[in-house]
Amino acid sequence: MNTLTQIIDGKLISLQIQDEIFLQVEELKKNNKKIPHLAAILVGSDGASETYVAAKVRACERVGFNSTLIRLPELVSEQELLKKIKDLNTDSDVDGYIVQLPLPKHINEYKILEAISPQKDVDGFHPQNVGRMALNLPTYLPATPFGIIQLLERYKIDTIGKHCVVIGRSHIVGSPMSILMARNTAFGNCTVSLCHSRTVNLKEFTLNADILIVALGIPEFITADMVKDGVVIIDVGITRIISGKTKSGFKLVGDVNYDEVAPKASFITPVPGGVGPMTIASLLINTLKASRGDVYQQLD
């Protein structure tokens, strides 16, 4: 490893943010103010979704938030789910809530996301909040891109005028990430290239990246010959692969070949322990904002 390479410790930053939120909740309690309350709807019993939701509920407990987990059966109708959403929209005790994705095939995901009150949309997926993000208005930023911005901020990584290449254009990571990096903000102001599966000559882009944000879901896709010296690497990918070397029999791998690429990088996020833990920290920040009513008051 190049001694000049800085490893971005997302686990540490996430815990720091959670400690900061804990102190703010203690302050609320001392002043007899309302405790932030996050609800989560989980449809069905998909293993990965169960794990993610459980982690979110545990994080709420750790910082002192109230949390409610609403479990609905795999075969719940779209109508019933919409009714639940309507109830949460009008429940004054719930400040924000999420609907864990993906949803079963018979439910229209966009219809569900649009039904969530934008004021309570702490995942930042409602079209109104996506629009506000694009216009640089106060909003709830989607958790993973928001987590990445916080890592750039806490590590004081200079982004202004840099060429940022984002690989992947999903609605939850790549696409919002490209918008955030281009905005006229302290940790934006990049010239952004958004690459995807139809990009021709991807390597030409990656070799010219000052900041490379990779979110495509192909393990160790980015190799040393694809990046320049001094690049900042943000690896969003998480793939579970079989491994004979771990007790569990599997390990998590990113989209970047870490061992090869790290020596060339100025900063790099490891997998696990980089971007992943920040997603939860972002959700907690958004919930705190929702309980304060900050986001929408700023415009009203």
Q: Which residues, 6+ apart, have CB-to-CB distance to 147 below 8 Å?
A: 10, 14, 275, 278, 279, 281, 282
**Residue selected from 18, 68, 199, 266 as contacting ligand NAD according to rule CB under 6 A:** 199
Q: In this chain, which stretch among 42-50, 83-91, 211-219, 259-267 interacts with ligand NAD, using CB under 6 A?
A: 211-219
Q: In this chain, which stretch among 24-32, 156-164, 235-243, 286-294 interacts with ligand NAD, using CB under 6 A?
A: 235-243
- Nearest alpha carbon to residue 234 among 197, 277, 275: 275
**Quick check: 239 binds ligand NAD (CB under 6 A)?**
yes
How many residues touch ligand NAD (CB under 6 A)?
23
Q: How far is the CB of 175 from ligand NAD (least distance, A)?
A: 8
Q: In this chain, which stretch among 34-42, 178-186, 215-223, 242-250 interacts with ligand NAD, using CB under 6 A?
A: 215-223
Give yes or no: 123 in active site. Answer: yes
Active-site hit among 9, 95, 123, 210: 123
**Quick check: 216 binds ligand NAD (CB under 6 A)?**
yes
CA geometry: angle at 212 spanning 207 and 218, to 5°?
95
Query: Considering beta carbons, is residue 50 or 91 the nearer one to ligand NAD?
Result: 50
- Nearest alpha carbon to residue 222 among 282, 175, 268: 268
CA geometry: angle at 171 spanning 169 and 6, to 5°?
65
Rounded alpha-carbon distances, angstroms, from residue 4 to 7, 44, 267, 273, 286: 10, 47, 9, 20, 34
Instruction: Catalogue the active-site residues.
Output: 56, 100, 123
